[in-house]
Amino acid sequence: MSYLPDNPLIVQGDRSLVLHTVRTLVDATGLPKRDEAGRPLTEEHPRYSEARDALAAFAELEKSPDYLHTYRITPVSIWNAAALGLTGDDIRATLESLACVPVPQNVLADVNSWMERYGLLRIERTPAGFELVSEDQDALEEVLGHEAIRKLVQLEDERLIVSETNRGTIKQALIKIGFPVDDRGGYVEGDPFELALRSTTRAGKPFALRPYQVGAADGFYRGGSVLGGNGVVVLPCGAGKTVVGLGVMERVGAKTLILTTNTVAVRQWRDEVLDKLQVGEDDVGEYTGENKSVCPITISTYQMLTWRRTRTDEFEHLGLFSRENWGLVIYDEVHLLPAPIFRVTAGLQARRRLGLTATLVREDGKEDEVFCLIGPKRYDVPWKVLEGQGFIAAAICTEVRVPLSRALKSTYSSADARRKFRVASENPEKVRVVERLIERHKDGRILVIGQYIDQLRELARHLDVPLITGKTPNVDRQRLYDAFRTGEERILIVSKVGNFAIDLPDANVAIQISGTFGSRQEEAQRLGRILRPKSDGSAAAFYAVVTLGSRDQEFAQKRQLFLTEQGYSYQIIDASELGKKKTGARA
């Protein structure tokens, strides 16, 4: 293999990948070209976009400074790649075609070893029950060397029998020791409930799944075989993940339990179900604090099912999982799945399970739990691909850096690390920046999103615009969202409730003034609020307002990782530059 020195990638022995985003321009003699100040001239590396898209299929982005992006290959990233059909040879070819120096052999060996382990162990249904099987006797002996595994199987006539109650638990235990299980044990069909998608919505508009939505639903269902029926579909916010869920419901044709993030999302799911499936009002139930109706299609929230009176009491509503013969369970925003839902899902392996998300990134590192209990990645489309096809809006991302208020400099310098982050996040100088951004987009439909309620209240008072927080009654939230949709309200300030499942198609500007430390998933969700295609074809504008040289800026760089991987770049400007040049969503 001959490596081209101008290639953009360096593969390191610790399985980290360093990707050059730019290259230095050279003259005819091979010397760097320089500007008037003597600095080397650079350009985006011509293979950067190609490399970014290829690496995203099997590696995780860890850091994304301006010129060097760092990825890492992990077992779960390889197993998800394997689930989508990639092979060790495919990954080797990709690395070698992009690398500027030889790829360490130990990295290729690790990739092949992890690839070989995907599907090496299977759960199959036999007359004796569920059985852990493999053509590799050494692998079976290796896992049986672990006491935790031996406790979960019964040896009968040289067969390893797994009880139905241990089907999920043993998959959790095996993935912890590096053995992902291909579960082909099949499913109970659930109570039948025939469903069909409408050809027109209730408002009379033509309706059909988009090609990628058909691909996602088919990729999950696999014709009803044991090769599908569990797993995760990854699509950008605004790309219609809910509609994919409806397509899967039509294919399964059984009672369905849908779990989502909050009551507003419950109502939006219900509206979509009634709008696009041939069902009646009485077929769709809402199981929330306000209404506990169980129907053939029942929609609830994670918070509802994990509610308990005290920390030591039982979860009173988890019984919803078992009280009906569900044929399908849909986990909306699966990257937010709370621990109690993981535990009950371990006992639901006989039900078809669909996870929907814009990102598989979990801030708690439990991607392996999603992999083994919900299932592997079944379908994934890069955000920029759908943007290029016009299915989501183009977006211009800008980081606006604001100096720390003089009055707070001594407070900041004497604070501990956590307090430093909050002081910098609540920097009052950000208020003026928000005002300038609103002025920049005079006719824009603007969402201002933040983490700290006191900061948001003060901003709402100062701007005289509505504020929505977790304590805002659902009826008031819905009223304000409706007012925003109709144009009666042009600006809304929202707390973390604005991260998830808000359907505001006309929003075209988002201003983030504070965030949850380095949460990559939050950054993706917030950008997603403005990615619905605009009627005039204009781009959306996403602003992250951060305090210069502070913990706020450090964490902002971490939050941007996922979007960088998806092909978005952040232009960085100083707050003093606002007003000089208008970019982003058209006013």
Left, alpha or beta for 365 (phi > 0: left; psi -120 to 50: alpha)?
left
- Dihedral pair phi/psi, residue 559, rounded to 5°: -65, -30
Neighbours of 43 (CB within 10 A): 11
**Mean pLDDT, range 230-259, rounded to an integer:** 93
CATH 3.40.50.300, applies to 211-381: yes
Tokens of 310: 């005290």
Write out the H or E segment, with its range, that includes residue 155. Answer: strand 154-156
- pTM surpassing 0.85? no
pLDDT, residue 169, reads: 93
The per-residue pLDDT for 190 is 94
From 163-172, 266-275, 308-317, the region with the lowest mean pLDDT: 308-317
Confirm if 561 and 62 have CB atoms less than 8 A apart.
yes
More confident residue, 171 or 393: 171
- Indicate the helix (H) or strand (E) that contains 11: strand 9-11
Question: What does the block give as tokens for 269?
Answer: 């799911």
The CATH number of the structural domain formed by 391-577 is 3.40.50.300
Specify which residues 133 forms β-bridges with. 122
CA nearest to 469, candidates 487, 485, 450: 450
Reduced 3-state DSSP string for 41-67: CEEECCCHHHHHHHHCCCCEEEECCCC
Q: Over 70: is that where the pLDDT of 174 sits?
A: yes
Residues 386, 532 contacting (CB under 8 angstroms): no
| Structure tokens belonging to residue 291 | 């209404």
> What tokens appear for 381 in the block?
């489309």
Exposure class string for 382-401: b at 16+ Cβ within 10 A, else e: bbbebbeeebbbbbbbbbbb
Measured distance CA(556)–CA(514) in Å, rounded: 9
Nearest to 288 by CA among 259, 311, 251, 250: 259
533-568 pLDDT per residue, tens: 776 777 888 898 999 988 888 888 777 776 766 667
**Coil, strand or helix at 68:** strand
Each residue's pLDDT tens digit, 40-92: 888 888 998 889 889 988 998 776 666 788 889 999 999 999 988 899 999 99
Asked if 560 and 567 count as a contact pair (C-beta separation under 8 A), the reply is no
Task: Say yes or no to pLDDT of 507 above 70.
Answer: yes
Domains 211-381 and 391-577 agree in fold: yes
- Residue 278: predicted pLDDT: 97
pLDDT of residue 478: 86
Q: Domain ranges for the chain, please list them.
A: 9-117, 121-184, 211-381, 391-577
Instruction: Compare 13 and 360 and report the one with higher pLDDT.
Output: 13
Determine phi and psi for 466, rounding to 5 degrees: -70, 150
Give burial (CB, 10 Å; 0-12/13-18/19+) of 569.
Answer: middle
Give the model's pLDDT for residue 584: 40
Higher pLDDT, 148 or 338: 148
Amino acid at 278: Q
pLDDT of residue 293: 93
**How many Å from the N-terminal Cα to the C-terminal Cα in the chain?**
53
- Range from 5-9, 138-142, 518-522 carrying the lowest mean pLDDT: 518-522
Helix (H, G, I), strand (E, B), or coil: what is residue 1?
coil
Does pLDDT of 292 surpass 70?
yes
pLDDT at 583 over 60: no
> Which pLDDT value is given to residue 303?
87
Per-residue pLDDT reduced to its tens digit, 481-496: 889 888 899 999 998 7
Q: What pLDDT is attached to residue 191?
A: 97
pLDDT band (50, 70, 90) for residue 502? low
pLDDT for 178: 93
- Which residues have CB under 8 Å from 414's CB, separation 6+? none
Strand order in the sheet with 9-11: 9-11, 16-20, 68-72, 60-63
pLDDT score at 540 = 86
429-433 mean pLDDT: 94
Looking at residue 585, its pLDDT comes to: 39
Please list, in sequence order, all residues whose beta carbon lies within 8 angstroms of the beta carbon of residue 247, skipping any fewer than 6 positions away.
197, 209, 213, 214, 216, 217
Average pLDDT, the chain: 87
What share of the chain has pLDDT > 90, as a percent?
A: 50
pLDDT tens-digit series, residues 213-242: 999 999 999 999 999 999 999 888 778 999
